[in-house]
Amino acid sequence: MMEGKNVNKYQAFGDVPTVMYVPDFITPSEESHLLDKVHGAPLSKWKSLKNRRLQNWGGVVHEKGLLPQDLPPWLTKITQRISEESGLFPSPINHVLINEYHPDQGIMPHQDGPAYFPVVAIISLGSPAVMDFTPHSRLRKCNDGKGTDEDALESGTNEWMDNHHPFSVVLMPRSLLIFKDTAYSDYLHGIKDGEVHQYEEAINEGALINQTFLDSEPVAAAEVVESSDPKVIRRTTDRISLTCRSVLKVHKSLFKF
């Protein structure tokens, strides 16, 4: 694994050393530019799913690799910056999924497919949200590798329970989230449906103090309410996410699989 070039900027948060959060990775003008490009894409570029719609850029991903298409310049510029500054990708980022979420929409806990290199970079635009990380159920094994999930959960010596705990990350507008290795392979990640997200368990809560939504010029998209218990974010507008990844196996034709 390549080492990050900017140690201070790409520092880990919480107990999981493979999660990095960079607030204000892009400027407000850059956010506006990206949103203009996303919303200006042809209607045919959008694919509607049950709880959101998305754009696919870079080609078609199969279990055995990628049938590539060149990224447009506006995506190439931002993905090159992520790759060069972080130093965490072994090859250029060649695939981007753009998801649009209405204020009450999320995405169920999931794990990215095996075709991707185990590093994910997510840029958030528009409304904030809380992403939850949940330990993968396949890890719920007793120390000797035997027994059922129920046996493991009842075992006082269950190493999995000691080393893997649920956590969350607040994804503020213009931020960059990178997770890799353990956070990629041992956890599911998802966003709850609903216009209100709790963030009292967020590992990057301390980094939110200096965010613009708490300053004199609040972001209209983010209404943050801090009560004694719990702390919540109210999602008032749509959220756009750019999920940037690398597919190492690139194929020019399906027949070469």
Condensed to tens digits (0 to 9), the pLDDT of residues 58-69 reads 999 987 789 999
User: How does pLDDT run across 74-115, given as a tens digit for each residue?
Assistant: 999 999 999 999 999 999 999 999 999 999 999 999 999 888
Residue 232's pLDDT band (boundaries 50, 70, 90)? Answer: confident
Two tokens, residue 85: 């500054």
3 vs 89: CA distance, rounded Å = 9
Identify the top-confidence range among 31-35, 50-54, 215-219.
31-35
Residue 5 confidence (pLDDT) above 70: no
Q: What integer pLDDT is reported at residue 67 of this predicted model?
A: 92
Residue 3 confidence (pLDDT) above 80: no
Summary mean pLDDT of the chain? 81
Residue 40's pLDDT band (boundaries 50, 70, 90)? Answer: very high
Q: Which residue has the tokens 């006082």?
A: 156
27 vs 41: CA distance, rounded Å = 21
Alpha helices in 72-117 (DSSP H): 73-86
What is the SS3 assignment for 122?
Answer: strand
Residue 239 confidence (pLDDT) above 90: yes
Alpha helices in the chain (DSSP H): 28-39, 73-86, 149-154, 159-163, 181-185
Q: Find residue 130's DSSP bridge partners.
A: 170
User: How does pLDDT run across 184-213, given as a tens digit for each residue?
Assistant: 989 999 999 999 998 877 888 777 754 544
Q: What integer pLDDT is reported at residue 231 of this predicted model?
A: 81
Q: What integer pLDDT is reported at residue 206 of this predicted model?
A: 72
CA distance to 14, 71, 152, 154, per residue, from 146 (Å): 30, 46, 9, 13
Q: Is the pTM of this model over 0.85?
A: no
Would you state the torsion angle of the CA atoms of residues 210, 214, 216, 220, taken in this order, to the nearest 10 degrees?
130
Q: What integer pLDDT is reported at residue 62 of this predicted model?
A: 83
Q: Are 10 and 86 in contact (CB under 8 A)?
A: yes
CA distance to 93, 107, 179, 200, per residue, from 111 (Å): 19, 11, 12, 24
The CATH code belonging to domain 19-132+171-248 is: 2.60.120.590
Residue 26's pLDDT band (boundaries 50, 70, 90)? Answer: very high
User: How does pLDDT run across 158-174, given as a tens digit for each residue?
Assistant: 554 556 788 999 999 99
170 vs 130: CA distance, rounded Å = 4
219 vs 126: CA distance, rounded Å = 9
Would you state the torsion angle of the CA atoms of residues 79, 85, 87, 90, taken in this order, to the nearest 10 degrees?
20
